[in-house]
Chain A
């Protein structure tokens, strides 16, 4: 870990001012990701602005029946919140499927969204990595790539986004509220927070320097049932190989609403509106689910070691849809 200056912000304005004064500073919330990366010398911020004392730890219902989640609400609090468990069980399931009890007690909503990839080579400064050091190459291509992405990758980076929470939020149409350095509030859909690697995999997201996430807002939930299904290498404490977040409403034997997001397979929580549209107005059937899986994986590309994710994604998706619609022919 390189030496750094540590500041503790008392309120939002202080935090934004501190960030405006220090263009290379980083916010630190739970620290469960940033500190690990700093210890390994992967992140070397000259200053840390601790936002732990900010008043961003509340959850409140919005007038339209949604939920505003403060950026500092911990993963443990969020998963256990009665409103979340009642209306967004998908989100609860996703969070509880991630990390460990201790980590979830520290991890925050904002920090979870911005956690960096778990690509093995990103984690070792001795390996070439375009995300860590632009222009050095990508050691995962041609290397051990079992956990890498199959969708949305580029020739420069094939890393996947590791979050479970963000996948659930993407299926729930979450929006992210931020404040710019000048105090200006911004709202963007969750997918607009992330970017695909393209030729600049070192830039994970669209936040401007010093832009602070203040809250995540969930709209009122869709009707119907929700499910988060995470497939991993051991029963707990492992990142998703593949995960599926789905919410589905069936009326009179017909699918009337569907939203799905996928984890472990892409550089960001992945969503495929074409595949969702395929389901609407249809009677649930295995054939339909397979068509849906075809659509989701149409562009999927393996790297050898992760080819199995294509099959696994198809199977997990179909199983999840079966689960949500009951027994289907």
Chain B
């Protein structure tokens, strides 16, 4: 098959998408997979029932550190319908990383965290397997573990790996100590963020089927190729022997990037028993044996001169992770580039704890890093007696403040100004506690948002059939984000066919490999691969019609050029197929590429109880071309909701004595619910980023969460005068600063 490559070595001055007469790209097109989802015909991993299917339930370690010395399966094996209690050294203890084929840590004896998977019980029904799992007797030796990151922070060491150079471990410019001594205003404080859970609606689930030495796995994975490669390594197979299917994924947020324990256990059990095995994690297991966003302890030291110019930007983060794992929470990511300032330091260290694996969670680093940074900016603005927007405007850098590299596009200032106008920011009082409505204290808060734009290799096959239908095939996934829809939009626009003529097939590792869903790059990488394929198909169609490609217009299934008008079906013979390849190139590294935004919100705090209600919200973003206004807006809203949750409610709580996850269900792990969320106004600025990719688009998926929580925290301060630096800001942390009862309850 022909390959068509787009490599980003030079900026893309002119995108075909800007030449489409009546484009679908950019509109508010509803999801094309929506009807299948609401009618239940979109099949998720656990909804596969091959013949002979049996069910596995994972066993968990009931202690935080040590080793299993004996497992007595006798009672479980004697129960009706129980087929096996499997403990296999190939089983994984930790989930896999987000890239590469390396096997995650394996083994079923050593226990590094409470709740770790240590085996699988298989029975002919889920209920029987679950009952038997309660009857497997374990003997174990516990060892002293490290469960309290903050108490152990003296043991923090630099991370061992910079994750392909994406997570800068330590950078410094100038002299921070000197700058601190010279600053006219200084903020120096510690912000803490807790562990968080991705809490996707769909639990991790796998159905493994072996046939003739081939393993097929229906799984819920964001990047099936990565999962396949890791699963193959774990099982001692060639990648070609493994096929993973993830056409529908009920949310991932980073929790389904690498292979997880249930897939490996299902594959081993299916191999051993010679029949298909399904393993679906319980909600409790999702919380305690998949992954979490690590907790952070962030010291921010910001200093400014009397003119309100930042002279010092220092951000030192301590985070926690299991021994031997390379991922760390890169909380300083946005601090590198958000504001000017000559003296800078960004540093990361890791405490090794015996707690659930730390993994990427939506906007790793940036979500919690900007929570702290943007609160610190608010504090410094106050110390300088400056409006927080004005303070940010005074510190807008011309170029990347550390490297001097230009920005490919940067509309932070426009986001700040337009957001302020949409929200009505000028009516805010700078004095905390100044605005009261009955028993409610009312505050306004704002923050900036920034999320680095990434680009990686991705492939997609686009085929025009003889009858004019078009099929797109790529291993890329749609984790609820809208991939099906945007790829169909791009094809419909570039090939001039009706949307209904386009079929998109996703999530099959037998199809061309993509960059997967993660890092806000899914839409731009897979969209660029589709773009590459379509531009080559346009060349072929033009040639078949005898027209120069620059002169053709494709619309309504017809190619037109001066003096030419031919239906596409006349030009494709038995069908035309091209595999499009998107490749990062020099232009991606020559300039800094980042999506930007600004958040504004009103928070009401009850003067008596400290209950907090976000009452109003506006955000403005600039992220290059917006491919679908509806799905992009949904992503932005989802991110903001996560930000509100991170500010006020979400905390994966660990028992201080064992690291055990205490709140293991959605009743007690408090994601924000509908009643916590007001109408959210989201506005995208018109922007094109010619450096990023041929779509001229940047990442959107994680941008919304960046800074959102800080806007909430800053509003809480503006309402109450209380700065809470330990997230989430639950009401108990405000009580001490609320008005005394007499004035709190008075309604005048």
Q: Which residues on A are within 8 Å of B, measured CB to CB?
A: 1-3, 39-41, 118, 120-121, 123-127, 139, 142-144, 146, 231-239, 241, 286, 289-290, 308, 311-312, 314-316, 318-319, 322, 327
Q: Which residues on B are within 8 Å of A, measured CB to CB?
A: 60, 62-63, 80, 114, 127-128, 130-131, 134, 282, 284, 439, 608-611, 613, 648-649, 653, 655-657, 660, 662-665, 667-668, 670, 672-676, 730-732, 735, 738, 741-742, 744-748
Is A231's CB under 8 angstroms from B660's CB?
no
CA distance A126 to B742 in the complex (A): 46
Question: A286-B741, A286-B745 given as contacts; is B439 within 8 A of A319 (CB)?
Answer: yes
Instruction: Knowing that A126-B62, A126-B114 touch, tell me 15 more A-B residue pairs with CB under 8 angstroms.
Output: A3-B80, A39-B282, A118-B667, A120-B668, A123-B664, A124-B664, A142-B657, A143-B655, A144-B656, A232-B611, A234-B675, A235-B673, A238-B670, A315-B741, A319-B745
Is B131's CB under 8 angstroms from A318's CB?
no
Give min CB distance, A120 to chain B, whole Å: 5
Give min CB distance, A238 to chain B, whole Å: 6
Contacts of A1 in B (CB 8 A): 127, 130-131
By secondary structure, the A interface counts as: loop
CA distance A143 to B656 in the complex (A): 7
Is A235's CB under 8 angstroms from B675's CB?
yes
Q: Output the nearest chain A residue to B610 by Cβ-Cβ distance.
A: A312
Contacts of B80 in A (CB 8 A): 3
Is A315's CB under 8 angstroms from B608's CB?
yes
CA distance A319 to B673 in the complex (A): 26
Is A237's CB under 8 angstroms from B745's CB?
no
Give min CB distance, A305 to chain B, whole Å: 9
Compute the total of residue contacts between A and B using a CB distance below 8 Å: 113
Is A39's CB under 8 angstroms from B611's CB?
no
Cross-chain pairs A/B with CB under 8 angstroms, 23 sampled: A3-B127, A120-B653, A121-B662, A124-B660, A125-B134, A142-B657, A143-B657, A233-B649, A234-B648, A235-B611, A237-B667, A237-B675, A286-B742, A286-B745, A289-B741, A312-B609, A312-B610, A315-B735, A315-B738, A318-B741, A319-B608, A319-B609, A322-B745
Is B662's CB under 8 angstroms from A120's CB?
yes
Contacts of A237 in B (CB 8 A): 667, 673, 675
Is B673's CB under 8 angstroms from A143's CB?
no
Q: Please provide the 10 A-B residue pairs with the shortest distance between their CB atoms, ordered closest to farther.
A: A126-B62, A235-B675, A308-B732, A236-B675, A319-B608, A322-B745, A41-B134, A120-B662, A231-B609, A286-B742
Give min CB distance, B281 to chain A, whole Å: 13
Is B134's CB under 8 angstroms from A144's CB?
no
Give min CB distance, A227 to chain B, whole Å: 13
Contacts of B610 in A (CB 8 A): 312
Is B611's CB under 8 angstroms from A231's CB?
yes
Contacts of B676 in A (CB 8 A): 234-236
Contacts of A125 in B (CB 8 A): 62, 134
Q: Output the nearest chain A residue to B134 by Cβ-Cβ distance.
A: A41
Q: Output the nearest chain A residue to B130 by Cβ-Cβ distance.
A: A1
Is A126's CB under 8 angstroms from B741's CB?
no
Max chain B Cβ within 10 angstroms of own Cβ: one of A39, A126, A318: A126
Contacts of A39 in B (CB 8 A): 130, 282
Give min CB distance, B146 to chain A, whole Å: 17
CA distance A290 to B675 in the complex (A): 31
Give min CB distance, A252 to chain B, whole Å: 23
Q: Output the nearest chain B residue to A319 by Cβ-Cβ distance.
A: B608
CA distance A118 to B668 in the complex (A): 9
Q: Output the nearest chain B residue to A99 by Cβ-Cβ distance.
A: B667
CA distance A98 to B74 in the complex (A): 43
Contacts of B738 in A (CB 8 A): 315
Question: A1-B127, A236-B674, A327-B748 given as contacts; is B732 within 8 A of A143 (CB)?
Answer: no
Q: Output the nearest chain B residue to A231 by Cβ-Cβ distance.
A: B609
Question: A308-B732, A318-B608 given as contacts; is B670 within 8 A of A234 (CB)?
Answer: yes
One of B60, B130, B131, B748 near A126 (C-beta < 8 A): B60
CA distance A249 to B660 in the complex (A): 49
Contacts of B613 in A (CB 8 A): 235
One of B63, B660, B672 near A234 (C-beta < 8 A): B672
CA distance A143 to B738 in the complex (A): 28
Is A144's CB under 8 angstroms from B731's CB?
no
